[in-house]
Amino acid sequence: MPLTPGQVQYWQKLLASTATNPDRARALWDLARALAGSDDAAWADLVRVLSSWTQERANGR
């Protein structure tokens, strides 16, 4: 789902205002959910990315 210019500005402002990694992670997760919408394939991609990242971190990479 492409974002409108106003939405892009909103997300850029929100991300720029984050001061900590947890805040940034929450904002990025919210953005990912907004982009995925009701698209099952996009949600599956998110799950794969997050699962892979989590496994890499658990293995010390």
The per-residue pLDDT for 19 is 92
The per-residue pLDDT for 40 is 94
The per-residue pLDDT for 10 is 95
Domain residue ranges in the chain: 1-9+22-61
This prediction has a pTM of: 0.68
Contacts of 46 (CB under 8 A, 6+ apart): 32, 36
Residue 2 phi/psi, 5° resolution?
A: -70, 150
Mean pLDDT of the 38-50 span: 91
Dihedral sign of CA atoms 54, 57, 59, 61 in order: positive
The answer on pLDDT for 18 being more than 90 is yes
Mean pLDDT of the 22-33 span: 89
